[in-house]
Amino acid sequence: MHTMWKGSISFGLVSIPVKMFAATEEKDIRFRYLHKTCNTPVRYVKRCPQCNEDIGDEDIVRGFEIEKGRFVILSEDDFASISPEKSKAIDILDFVQLSDIDPIFFHKSYFLSPEETSLKAYSLLREAMQSTGKIAIAKIVLRSSASLAALRLYQDSLVLETLFYPDEVRSVRETPLYGAHPTVDPREMDMASALIAHLSAPFVPEKYTDDYRQSLWERIQAKAQGETVTAASATSPRGNVVDLMAALQKSIEAAKAGNGGPPQPVGATSSEGAPTKPRRTRKSS
């Protein structure tokens, strides 16, 4: 893995040199935009519509639009004067319970690996966090920006999770029908609880796959090999819930039967399965 940051964990008067690595990566299949006439990749040019001319990076400044068509221009000196002090330290502020942090605050994960000279101190912090059941809240400067972060254990290692600041998390009260609590039928509650119990299982991440990405990759490979790809027939839209009790009962029966997958969504009929993968046929020679 590529080392993306080097610094140290500041733990009281203890400094623990570490290297940081990106813990996750996106697996999306990325496409280039081409001119359909000649299949040439399209170039994107910065152009000023007022002056009607192409411009380079040296001709661009950053501005904040305070009202329509009116901007406050900030120079590089403005940004430099307020940039956080460059630091190579992960400054631990507090130790808290992981359960105190709602997952909505988590942003991106990074592995922290010790330098050879800091292995003992790294292990000490890891074991102390393990025994106390605590995680650390810290601050770190990444890409000239101060980020809030959580330091926690992950598979015998330390992981740094950048966090959203509280004012970056939108209020759920702004969502439609927030706080609406229609009366729940006790029988429906019992059946819903029974359904959850039947579908409960240990979390095994390997069992979940990106079926869309897999199908898209298969289609790309098929076309690259000269095959003709026929799209699968579209599925009919699912109907509205007519009888919630009946839908719950049907779901429980399907879960008990262990039919190789989760029951159909509430209100759907058994014929409304997941879309099938594209069918492929070779071109005739």
CATH architecture group of domain 5-26+83-167: Beta Barrel (2.40)
DSSP for residue 83: S
Provide the residue ranges of all domains of the chain, joining segments of one domain with +.
Answer: 5-26+83-167, 186-199+208-232+242-270+277-282
Q: What is the pLDDT of residue 277?
A: 43
Question: Could you tell me which of 223, 211, 209 has the C-alpha nearest to residue 31?
Answer: 223
State residue 155 phi and psi, 5-degree precision.
45, 60
pLDDT digits (tens, 9 = 90+) for 121-145: 999 999 999 999 999 999 998 877 8
First-to-last CA distance in the chain? 46
State residue 64 phi and psi, 5-degree precision.
-105, 125
The count of residues in the chain is 285
What is the distance of C-alpha 209 from the center of its chain? 15
State residue 199 phi and psi, 5-degree precision.
-95, 0
Q: What is the pLDDT of residue 125?
A: 93
In this prediction the pTM is: 0.69
d(CA 96, CA 133): 9
Residue with tokens 């069918």: 279
Q: Which residue positions in the chain have pLDDT lower than 70?
A: 84, 229-242, 259-285
Q: What is the pLDDT of residue 242?
A: 54
Within 10 angstroms of residue 44's Cβ, the number of other Cβ atoms is 6
Q: What is the pLDDT of residue 239?
A: 52
Q: What is the pLDDT of residue 218?
A: 84
For residue 216, give the 3-state DSSP assignment.
helix
Q: What is the pLDDT of residue 102?
A: 93
For residue 84, give the 3-state DSSP assignment.
coil
Q: What is the pLDDT of residue 272?
A: 38
Kindly tell me the burial class for residue 278, based on how many C-beta atoms sit within 10 Å of its own C-beta (0-12, 13-18, 19 or more).
Answer: middle
Q: What is the pLDDT of residue 281?
A: 44
Burial annotation 255-264 (CB, 10 A radius, 16+ → b, else e): beeeeeeebb
pLDDT digits (tens, 9 = 90+) for 76-98: 888 877 776 777 889 999 999 99
Q: What is the pLDDT of residue 121?
A: 92
Asked whether 175 and 38 are in contact (CB, 8 A), the reply is no
Q: What is the pLDDT of residue 240?
A: 53
d(CA 194, CA 248): 9
DSSP for residue 280: E
